[in-house]
């Protein structure tokens, strides 16, 4: 049996995050000692490792919940998990395309900077006037 601290260390997950996952139902409520300390077994360690890896791959909590449901029912068809992974792949590709457009725009801004006074700074000018951007982009993280 593992304490919450040991579980966190083994999976690289903060204790607060583990508690949050329990609160929202991604992790089952653990057993407790007579003194009220949480205790986790290997099954819960595996489940948290699954959640942690899925988060590292960028899956949303809702997608992880779907994947866990599939994992908990081994007779369900794999194509459902495949569809979730394909959706995630599309989202990653879209983010990469936005980041590449932002990279191109930033390189152009920096390249056009003459290094003079801030009143003549091309970077500041472009940031003030969005119409000078050559690419469409949205806030990262939005």
Q: Clarify whether residues 14 and 57 are in a common domain.
A: yes
Q: Domain with 15 in it: what CATH number?
A: 1.10.1660.10
pLDDT at 141: 54
pLDDT at 132: 58
Q: Clarify whether residues 55 and 14 are in a common domain.
A: yes
- pLDDT tens-digit profile, the chain (142 residues): 999 999 999 999 999 999 999 999 999 999 999 999 999 999 999 999 999 999 999 999 999 999 999 999 989 989 999 999 999 999 999 999 999 998 988 888 788 777 777 777 777 877 777 665 655 656 555 4
Q: Clarify whether residues 55 and 84 are in a common domain.
A: no
Three-point CA angle 10, 14, 18, nearest 5°: 90
For the chain, the domain total comes to 2
Q: Rounded CA gap, 87 and 108, in Å?
A: 32
Beta strands 31-32 and 38-39, pairing class: antiparallel
Q: Clarify whether residues 54 and 10 are in a common domain.
A: yes
pLDDT at 137: 54
72 domain residue, yes or no? no
pLDDT at 135: 58
Three-point CA angle 41, 46, 50, nearest 5°: 150
Q: Clarify whether residues 85 and 123 are in a common domain.
A: yes
pLDDT at 19: 96
139 domain residue, yes or no? no
pLDDT at 83: 96
98 domain residue, yes or no? yes
Q: Clarify whether residues 126 and 91 are in a common domain.
A: yes
Q: Which domain holds residue 116?
A: 79-132
67 domain residue, yes or no? no
In terms of phi and psi (left: phi > 0; alpha: psi -120 to 50; beta: otherwise), the region of 33 is beta
30 domain residue, yes or no? yes
pLDDT at 128: 76
57 domain residue, yes or no? yes
137 domain residue, yes or no? no
């Amino acid at each position: 049996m593992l304490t919450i601290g040991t579980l966190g260390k083994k999976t690289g997950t903060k204790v607060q995050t583990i508690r949050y996952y329990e609160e929202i139902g991604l992790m089952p409520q653990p057993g407790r000692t007579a003194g009220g300390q949480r205790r986790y077994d290997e099954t819960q360690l595996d489940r948290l490792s699954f959640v942690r890896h899925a988060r590292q791959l960028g899956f949303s909590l809702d997608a992880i919940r779907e994947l866990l449901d599939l994992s908990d029912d081994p007779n369900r068809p794999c194509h459902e998990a495949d569809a979730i992974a394909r959706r995630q792949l599309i989202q990653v590709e879209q983010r990469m395309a936005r980041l590449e457009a932002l990279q191109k725009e930033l390189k152009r801004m920096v390249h056009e900077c003459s290094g003079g006074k801030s009143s003549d700074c091309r970077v500041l000018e472009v940031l003030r006037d969005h119409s000078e951007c050559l690419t469409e982009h949205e806030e990262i993280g939005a």
